[in-house]
């Protein structure tokens, strides 16, 4: 389907024009891309972010459209802030979270606070102050752990291999519980490897794609752990934003959980070769897994997105070549704002 003629765009515009939308983690990677799309749809957007320097929040992410939304610097762990912020909102895209798997193992209590306790605070704020709000939660494929079969569907047993996967799984099920018990209308999307403009490039703790992207842009050597044969599926961020916007207004998705994913499955070695080729510089080398990474490695992973395709017609539109080209183009003009 052509992106220019997608008939879903008119439906999405109608769903969000003039509506009040709250995005937690809204200055981060996915949140800011979602915010940009929503202001273009003429929604009344408030983004909430703590701007913790270790996470992905960056005011650069909203440069050029910052005058079209409201920014609230707050921590989702603060129940008093969330009590006020959720009032009168039509939609809540709950994207705030600690996403580093390594960090979750080194500092499990902070991960617990952000990915569990804060999620309950948000849901309680909604239950007590705005029970009519519509919530979409950003879950993760990491909760599946090491796959028993591929592609992984939503019926696959969840066996997380790290603290982050356990806490994200709990956060997701708090949302489903509140849907089923309190009629707080929630849906969870289990995201796979997402990439694109506005990723955090400062360090390597938020996934291999942003860190490999930085090293390629700097013309440096990329180190791939293991043999490079690990298979992954990846979604360009615009496709993830499409999924968030498509699922939010649909009553048939209340209380449901959906995988995102892609038909294009690629080995890490091939991904890196493509990235280096498109960047026009850089190199890579295979190195042994560090012990702390090997303990939580999941091997091959790619998911089935048949359930969300059948429910609302979502399919990814961007292949890796186009998505990486757009990503590299974005950072070439703004590298210093993301590298510091």
Q: Which residues pair with 71 in a beta bridge?
A: 47
Cα–Cα distance measured from residue 157 to residue 298, given in angstroms and rounded to the nearest whole number: 14
* pLDDT score recorded for residue 65: 98
φ/ψ of 293, rounded to 5, equals: -85, -40
Burial class (CB in 10 A: 0-12, 13-18, 19+), 5: exposed
Q: How much is the pTM? A: 0.95
pLDDT computed for residue 288 by the predictor: 95
Enumerate domains of the chain plus CATH numbers. Answer: 3-199+235-262+302-317 (3.40.50.720)
Nearest to 247 by CA among 193, 188, 317, 176: 188
The one-character DSSP state at 28 is S
pLDDT given at position 308: 98
Query: What is the structure's pLDDT at 8?
Result: 62
Residues 63-94 have pLDDT tens digits of 999 999 999 999 999 999 999 999 999 999 99
- Report the alpha-carbon distance of residue 122 to residue 118 in Å, rounded: 6
pLDDT for 101 equals 83
pLDDT tens per residue, range 41-52: 999 999 999 998
């Amino acid at each position: 389907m052509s992106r220019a003629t997608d008939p879903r765009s008119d439906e999405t515009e109608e769903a969000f024009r003039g509506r009040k939308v709250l995005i937690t983690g809204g200055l981060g990677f996915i949140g800011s891309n979602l915010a940009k799309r929503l202001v273009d749809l003429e929604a009344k957007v408030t983004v909430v972010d703590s701007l913790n320097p270790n996470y992905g929040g960056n005011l650069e992410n909203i440069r050029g459209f910052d005058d079209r939304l409201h920014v609230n610097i707050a921590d989702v762990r603060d129940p008093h802030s969330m009590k006020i912020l959720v009032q009168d909102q039509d939609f809540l895209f709950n994207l705030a979270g600690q996403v580093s798997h390594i960090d979750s193992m080194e500092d499990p209590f902070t991960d617990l606070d952000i990915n569990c306790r804060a999620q309950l605070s948000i849901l309680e704020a909604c239950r007590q102050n705005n029970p009519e709000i519509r919530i979409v939660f950003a879950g993760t494929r990491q909760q599946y752990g090491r796959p028993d079969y591929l592609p992984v569907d939503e019926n696959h047993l969840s066996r997380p291999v790290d603290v982050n996967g356990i806490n994200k799984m709990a956060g997701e099920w708090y949302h489903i519980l509140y849907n089923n018990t309190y009629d707080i209308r929630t849906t969870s999307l289990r995201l796979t490897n997402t990439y694109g403009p506005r990723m955090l490039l400062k360090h390597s703790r938020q996934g291999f794609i942003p860190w490999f992207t930085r090293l390629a842009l700097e013309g440096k050597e990329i180190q791939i752990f293991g043999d490079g044969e690990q298979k992954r599926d990846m979604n360009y961020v615009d496709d993830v934003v499409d999924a968030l916007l498509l699922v939010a207004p649909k009553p048939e998705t209340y209380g449901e959980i959906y995988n995102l994913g892609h038909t294009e499955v690629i080995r890490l070695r091939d991904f890196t070769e493509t990235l280096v080729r498109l960047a026009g510089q850089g190199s890579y080398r295979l190195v042994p897994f560090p012990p702390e990474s090997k303990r939580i490695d999941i091997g091959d992973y790619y998911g089935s997105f048949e359930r969300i395709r059948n429910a609302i017609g979502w399919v990814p539109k961007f292949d890796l070549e186009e998505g990486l080209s757009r990503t590299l183009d974005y950072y070439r003009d703004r590298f210093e704002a993301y590298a510091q």
